[in-house]
Amino acid sequence: MDIKNIKGVGEKTLKYLNLLGIYSVKDAIFFFPRCYEDRRNIKPIYELCDGDIASIIAEVSIIYPSKRANNGMYINRIVFKNETGYIVGVWFNQPYIKNNFKVGQKVFLYGKISRKMGEVQIIDPQYERDIDDLKLGINPIYPSNKYLSQKVIKKIINECLKYIDKVIIDILPESLRKSLGLYDIKSAILNIHNPKDFNILSESIKRIKFEELLVLQLGIFMAKKRFENMENAYSIPVSKEMKEYKDSLPFQLTNAQSKTIREILIDMKKSKPMNRLVQGDVGSGKTIVAITALFNCAMNGYQGALMAPTEILAQQHFLSLESLLKKWQIKIALLCGSTSKKQKDEILEKIKQGEIDIVVGTHALIQENVEFKNLALVVTDEQHRFGVRQRGELINKGHNPHVLVMTATPIPRTLALFMYGDMDISIINELPAGRQKVDTYFVRPSMRDKVYDFVKKEIRNGRQAYIVCPLVEESEKLEAESAVETSKKLQEMYFKEFKIGLLHGKMNSSDKDLVMQKFKNKEIDILVSTTVIEVGINVPNATIIVIENAERFGLAQLHQLRGRVGRGSYKSYCILISEAKTDDAKERMNIMTKTSDGFIIAEKDMELRGTGEFFGTRQHGLPELKLADPIKDIELLKQTRDVAKKIIENNLIYNKDYENLVKEVDNKFNDKFNDITFN
Ligand code: ADP
Ligand code: MG
């Protein structure tokens, strides 16, 4: 059934439906209400209390002309009556409303009750004039736009629901459904659109969520299973120089680092490709873990690649690799935006010939041009910055390389299990010895002079500072301009005797490198920067970060920025300058001052923002969820995990009853399958 043939859907309406994401009858059937009005309880007017949400059937008695209040707002009042009393409908700024009613007409009203000086009012009520057609139940309210009224949407959806048998099949086998006490899909959908009571509604929603989460978990497990069957990775033993290498490091590894490295080395030895996520809070020392894996790869004669999200970070990694691996004559190349064409071609040729052991660069550069001789290990730093697909592309060039993914974005454990269900996870849950907690303060802009005095004090003590300029969402250009201006102003007005450097996204990469180099070498005291320093940048001598307009940043981002300091043994400070007015902004500032635990912050972040950001396909390549929320529905998630596991273990995916479920998994994951297998 084509949606064009549904009663009430003309060309125009179809266009408006498209705007809501509805293109087919199936889309309409799965277009669920955003909330419900309980219109079941019709109460006598004399029983209504202030604040009640009430449904009333009454007759139009008096229609007053519009009035204008002192502030210019229109107020319209209409008196309704029935055998239980009088009630006044009050509408604001809708002067036309009076034309919608006729004296003597019987109407239905739904809204919030207010009792004022003996008068019973219903404020801005919803109303229905077609009393005969009225269904007094739980009334669904759909997400809508200004073109389509609730009435029209409702009508179209109910029309589409007539074809539900033709459009929807139940992908859950009956036996499974029955054993879990779940509704069949058709009842669930019909109930969600027209629930009889809230119990039935919640059971119906649960059924849909269950299905969504089950498909997802099955997809992940099936990917993992495929992956486990792969046996053609390079098996890379632990290099005999490993001990010497470890002894040569400038510090002793933490227990968490050692454990992670051990896990990685065991993985690399297998002929099944490693697929490991290393998660560690900012400053926990993930780089050395990556370097060690790359060292082991190179010493065995294989090539490795290290991808970073920004050029500045790639450059930094390149220098770290050079200095730590100098001794072993490992050949390392940096692919950078500013590398000349000639140089680049030369490097690419060398990589192809196997004359380069480790290549470092941004993901774009490495993916697009590079051909390897024997790529055996791919390390991705700050993985949350990469689309799953991009990673897949690079990997496809190699010979099933081992994959190591590093992330500082602290993903709550439960969520990590879910998102990376196909990966093994190592967690670095320990900071190197001697680190001190970063003290965080939230101050108003009026305190700025004091803050700058404090910055001066730190610099005079030999330390360095970051000053982060406001985030300008709309344009990197505007952001860069504001950074330029800020740095000028700071130099002239506050920090005359200090050296200020500037870093922003519009600078070319060699200029960026130069500034970073100078900052590292202490030729710059204060680095005024946009968020380009957000991830990965490591200058342990910097002990203070001042974040302007801190309210514009999300929690995760603030935590990352704060992670730029406290990377050495010096006491460090993070100062959030903000006018924070909204509750949400104040809450973020408070959380930042109270905790430095990335996991708690991530959990709060998700509470405040919802999981949407994580679960848009954009972020991770997994199918989108309509109703389920892996955080709020964690219990259901666990249940689906168990069910999915059983289905795989018992080989039920080849069972006829499970055919439709498996098909759905294939559909949902379609070509993402390969990427996810390898991410
Ligand atoms: P992140 O996990 O944020 O990527 P890095 O790998 O950049 O952290 O490490 C942060 C800083 O800590 C670097 O200066 C690094 O040299 C240092 N570091 C890493 N491991 C240790 C350790 N075991 N002991 C002391 N310092 C360490
Ligand atoms: Mg890092």
The DSSP secondary structure of 428-468, one letter per residue, reads E--PPTT--PPEEEEE-GGGHHHHHHHHHHHHHTT-EEEEE
In this structure, the strands spanning 358-362 and 375-380 are: unpaired
Q: What is the mean predicted confidence (pLDDT) over 443-450?
A: 93
Please give the pLDDT value at position 673.
42
pLDDT value, residue 248: 94
How much is the pLDDT for 183?
96
Give the separation between CA 232 and CA 149, rounded to whole angstroms.
58
pLDDT at 297: 97
Alpha carbon of 313 to ligand 2 centroid (Å): 8
How far separated are the first and last CA of the chain, in Å rounded?
A: 39
281: CA distance to ligand 2 center in Å? 9
Distance 431 CA to ligand 2 centre (A): 13
Q: What is d(CA 675, CA 136) in angstroms, rounded to the nearest whole number? A: 50
Check: CB of residue 9 under 8 Å from CB of residue 160.
no
Considering every ligand atom shown, identify the ligand nearest to the alpha carbon of residue 382 and give its number: 2
Query: DSSP strand E in 295-342: where?
Result: 303-308, 332-335
Please give the pLDDT value at position 395. Answer: 56
What digits encode the pLDDT tens for the residues 42-79? 889 999 999 998 999 999 999 999 999 888 889 999 99
pLDDT digits (tens, 9 = 90+) for 468-485: 988 776 677 888 888 898
Q: How do the domains of the chain map onto residue ranges?
A: 1-39+137-168, 41-133, 242-269+285-407, 438-595
**pLDDT score recorded for residue 618:** 37
User: Which residue's alpha carbon is nearest to atom 12 within ligand 1?
Assistant: 285
Q: Which CATH class is domain 438-595?
A: alpha beta
CATH superfamily of 242-269+285-407: P-loop containing nucleotide triphosphate hydrolases (3.40.50.300)
**Cα dihedral sign for 535, 538, 540, 542?**
negative
Which residue, 400, 407, 387, 405, is CA-closest to 226? 400
Q: Each residue of 360-395: pLDDT tens digit?
A: 998 766 766 788 999 999 998 876 544 444 445 555
Q: Give me ligand 2 centre to Cα 199, in Å.
A: 48
- Tens digit of each residue's pLDDT (9 = 90 or more) over 613-650: 444 333 444 567 788 877 678 788 888 988 998 998 89
The structure tokens 């007759």 sit at: 59
Distance CA 673, CA 679 (A): 10
- The CATH code for residues 41-133 is 2.40.50.140
Q: Considering only CA atoms, which residue is closest to atom 22 of ligand 1?
A: 432
Over 90: is that where the pLDDT of 668 sits? no
Ligand 1 pocket mutation, candidates 307, 381, 430, 538, criterion most atoms within 8 A of CB: 538
Residues with CB under 6 Å of ligand 1 are 251-254, 257, 280, 282-288, 408, 432, 538, 540, 567
Please tell me the number of the ligand nearest to residue 567's CA: 1
Mutation choice for ligand 1 from 253, 284, 409, 435, CB with most ligand atoms inside 8 A: 284
Q: Does residue 334 carry a pLDDT above 80?
A: yes
- 221 C-alpha to ligand 1 centroid (Å): 34
pLDDT in tens, 406-427: 887 766 555 666 655 667 888 8
Domain 1-39+137-168, what fold? DNA polymerase; domain 1 (1.10.150)
Ligand nearest 314 Cα, by number?
2
* Strand-pair partners of 139: 37
Q: Is the pLDDT assigned to residue 101 strictly greater than 90?
A: yes
Percentage of the chain beyond pLDDT 90 is 54
Residue 489 neighbours by CB distance under 10 Å: 12
Q: What is the pLDDT of residue 611?
A: 55
pLDDT value at position 340? 83
Q: 242-269+285-407: same fold as 41-133?
A: no
More confident of the two residues 658 and 224: 658
Q: What pLDDT, on a 0 to 100 scale, did the predictor assign at position 201?
A: 95
Over its C-alpha atoms, the chain yields an Rg (Å, rounded) of 31
Distance 11 CA to ligand 1 centre (A): 61
Predicted confidence at residue 208, as pLDDT, reads 95
* 277 backbone dihedrals φ, ψ, rounded to 5°: -105, 125
Mapping DSSP to helix (H, G, I), strand (E, B) and coil, where does residue 546 land?
strand
Helix axes 198-228, 185-193, angle to 10 degrees: 130
pLDDT for 210 beyond 80: yes
**Angle, CA 503 vertex, CA 501 and CA 506 arms, to 5°:** 140
Q: Which residues of 41-148 form beta strands (DSSP E)?
A: 53-63, 67-68, 74-82, 85-92, 106-116, 119-128, 138-141
Q: Residue 226 — very low, low, confident or very high, per pLDDT cuts 50/70/90?
A: low
Determine the residue type at 306. Answer: L
Beta strands at 464-468 and 542-547: parallel, antiparallel or unpaired: parallel
- Residue 286 CA, ligand 2 centroid: distance in Å: 6
Per-residue H/E/C for 242-278: HHHHHHHCCCCCCHHHHHHHHHHHHHHHCCCCCEEEE
Beta bridge partners of 127: 109
For a ligand 1 pocket test, name from 260, 287, 384 the mutation site with the most ligand atoms within 8 angstroms of its C-beta.
Answer: 287
DSSP 42: B
Ligand closest to 287 (CA) is 1
CA distance 257 to 255: 5
For range 124-147, the mean pLDDT: 84
- Cα separation, 445 vs 449, in Å, equals 9
Closest ligand 1 atom number to CA of residue 289:
6
Neighbours of 252 (CB within 10 A): 12
Mean pLDDT of the chain: 86
Please identify, by atom number, the ligand 1 atom nearest to the C-alpha of residue 288. 6
Distance from residue 536's CA to the centre of ligand 2 (Å)? 4
Match 């200020």 to its residue by tokens.
Answer: 500
